[in-house]
Structure 1
């Protein structure tokens, strides 16, 4: 017989409204800084839930144009929930985080994938495509995603936090800002930017009580932007760091001060278009523990993790190769450049999808959102690194296999584009 007395829900420690701007909401912040106070504190072994707004702070809408992508304010990304302090965690320890579940909000069963403008966000092919804003909205049906903007595909999601990490120490923060500032100085002004320095514009720290102005201004002036992954974790966008994963994070400040956000319903390896997963708002269920002295014990320079045991399996794939030669561009030979090889594999895949009837924009978005796998095939055979991109056959409604008679081309329309029609 069930017993109400012995049945309790895991507490939700941070609540957000996914339909409202992140600004003004408590328990959210969008900079990394050791002086951001913990919003909640948990004990090792506690199981708890954390609600997360989408990474833009509710700037993107469920509609059929991409004007919101075109005009998105990237000074304020990413909006993270936290920090969550863990009792007993000290610098030099290892914070163990079990990602027990990742789910969209029950009242928000949709997400989106976007291509940013060249001058506002960019993406992997921002220059090659002279990117203009496009968008695909995805509807969730249990574990599956479909999109009215990319018809003919349906796939199971690998839900995961794109961004999760511990707070940096003051020394580590200074290192980040110094080395990234040096890179910017060496490379000069570029579009897209090579790195994102501290920027007071758009900074948000939603604590339980208002911060003293001098402290808020200090965080806004010094705080590291959340765009790249770093030694503490951060925005690594690893699709297999999903529900059921166990993560091992280095601790740099007392309490560890774990923060998280940028939830994804699904993503391909590489997240090509920057806004390249199926971005969503939702709820994380977590459990933490501490391994004392774990940084030294495990040589923990960066996080390590165990992948999820429940990822969807698509065994049949068609695999495209890429090498370190700009075959789709000027034909330049590169020396062991895995990024060039990855881009060529992706461009080969996009060219194939266009033969099936998808537009270049739909193909770009699909490779970002679907559970595509990419691997380094060889990184030793000079001068060409080899990278592969594996496209799951089972996600397509129609046959996409190479046939003697060629590929069947279908009109799949177009994804959501700007209201002025510019592509």
Structure 2
């Protein structure tokens, strides 16, 4: 297996979405590991304080080639990464081995007509929030004594599809999932839709509450180490994930009801396939022991719900 270093530059990032027409910036074998850099804040860099900016990030913001501006989404993504032998119908497994903010600062933004309470909070506000990387906390509001633990994760982990897509809504290809459970030590399984999968990553968050209600978390330029595996026999049509403590299914829909029903159905299917329960037994177990949580309500038109099944309850490990 080979270890790669993928830096974020004008040649290795793309803006706004996913596209099967993008040229891969890295080709790997299944099982390879990658140290990956990501940046965030493309559209607010000119309002940012000096500590938010690096020469590499400024170059991206000022000189990113037009052909790498895929769609209208605000996210800078590193990739796409081509996985050898991956074909439609396969599944890639992305192991998140390490995640850490690359700068001691992030931002939160409220935008008009966006967010869960966009009529009440309708004024554009941009806040830069300092990160104490030694103590792994952020204090907000400043000088309030309220300390938010840093729990970094990548908001976007996704693959390309035959259609170009905005980076804003999540879907069965992954994308802007914004699931705070996907921290270091977790892994996510994504269906493959185009040859090579064309995996991209970005949208670093240092801290986020379930729901991400004002539209953004502490948005942070983030580095990490990932390992990508390839599965030929897994029959998945939507993302599934595993944390150190839980198995997780994800549902997306234009309403929370639809997203919840999707996450519930995916959990029932998983329990049938991997644990050997009947559909009715799985349905009852979901009512007794599975925790369904709101992932995010702001990445329109798709809202997200995820179901968490504690691995400690199971008599044996699920072999995903």
TM-score > 0.5, shorter chain as reference: yes
Rounded to whole Å, the distance in 1 between the matches of 2:212 and 2:199 is 24
Deviation at 1:130, TM superposition (A): 2.8
Rounded to whole Å, the distance in 2 between the matches of 1:309 and 1:157 is 19
Tell me which of 115, 130, 135 is aligned to 1:138.
Answer: 130
Residues 1:292 and 2:232 are matched in the alignment = yes
Residues 1:123 and 2:118 are matched in the alignment = no
Tell me which of 141, 150, 155 is aligned to 1:162.
Answer: 155
Q: What is the aligned length?
A: 231
Tell me which of 286, 302, 305 is aligned to 2:238.
Answer: 302
Tell me which of 94, 97, 100 is aligned to 1:97.
Answer: 94
Rounded to whole Å, the distance in 2 between the matches of 1:309 and 1:158 is 16
Residues 1:114 and 2:95 are matched in the alignment = no
Residues 1:27 and 2:12 are matched in the alignment = yes
Q: 1:10 to 1:52 in 2, by over 3 A?
A: same
Tell me which of 63, 78, 82 is aligned to 1:81.
Answer: 78
Secondary structure at 1:263's aligned position in 2? strand
For normalisation by structure 1, the TM-score amounts to: 0.50
Unpaired runs of at least 5, structure 1: 1-8, 17-24, 64-73, 174-222, 311-335, 340-372, 377-386, 388-423
Rounded to whole Å, the distance in 2 between the matches of 1:41 and 1:26 is 14
Rounded to whole Å, the distance in 2 between the matches of 1:241 and 1:149 is 27
Residues 1:56 and 2:49 are matched in the alignment = no
Q: 1:75 to 1:93 in 2, by over 3 A?
A: closer
From the CA coordinates, give the structure whose radius of gyration is larger. 1
- The answer to whether the 8 A contact 1:139-1:147 is kept is no
Correspondence list, 1:193-342, <5 A? 223-274=164-215, 276-294=216-234, 296=235, 300-308=236-244
Rounded to whole Å, the distance in 2 between the matches of 1:338 and 1:98 is 30
Q: 1:155 to 1:82 in 2, by over 3 A?
A: same
- Superposed CA RMSD: 2.9
Aligned counterpart, 1:151: 144
Q: 1:239 to 1:246 in 2, by over 3 A?
A: same
Rounded to whole Å, the distance in 1 between the matches of 2:108 and 2:244 is 23
Q: 1:284 to 1:55 in 2, by over 3 A?
A: farther
Rounded to whole Å, the distance in 2 between the matches of 1:100 and 1:52 is 15
Residues 1:41 and 2:27 are matched in the alignment = yes
